[in-house]
């Protein structure tokens, strides 16, 4: 798995876990974000690239500060590069 693909998967997993923590289902989140349910599922599985506007629409639909989580992911990604 390439670096970009791995990062997309981490972002997708973060979106999915946050959505589940806040008890949001896939259909409602997709509807509130204004995107197709298949697109949201592909993003959560790290199978597709997406625009930042889509990312922020998902962020708003969930109602959680995903950007703060991404800062943590960037720190962890940097630490992984340093270790390896």
For residue range 20-55, what is the model confidence (pLDDT) as tens digits?
888 899 999 999 999 999 999 999 999 988 888 888
Could you give the 3-state DSSP secondary structure of residue 47?
Answer: coil
Q: Tell whether pTM > 0.85.
A: no
What total number of domains does the chain contain? 1
* Token pair listed for 71: 């800062």
For residue range 68-84, what is the model confidence (pLDDT) as tens digits?
666 665 655 555 555 54
* CATH code of the domain in which 11 resides: 1.10.260.40
Please report where in the chains the tokens 């959680």 appear, as a residue: 64
Residue 62: CB atoms within 10 A of its CB come to 20
* pLDDT for residue 27: 94
Q: Which domain holds residue 59?
A: 3-83
Gap between the Cα atoms of 66 and 84, Å rounded: 27
Residue 41: CB atoms within 10 A of its CB come to 15
């Amino acid at each position: 798995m390439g670096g970009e693909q791995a990062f997309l998967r981490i972002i997708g997993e973060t979106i999915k876990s946050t959505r589940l923590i806040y008890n949001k289902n896939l259909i409602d989140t997709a509807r509130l974000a204004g995107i197709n349910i298949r697109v949201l599922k592909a993003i959560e599985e790290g199978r597709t690239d997406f625009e930042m506007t889509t990312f922020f629409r998902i962020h708003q639909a969930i109602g959680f500060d995903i950007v703060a989580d991404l800062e943590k992911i960037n720190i962890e990604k940097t630490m992984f590069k340093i270790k390896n």
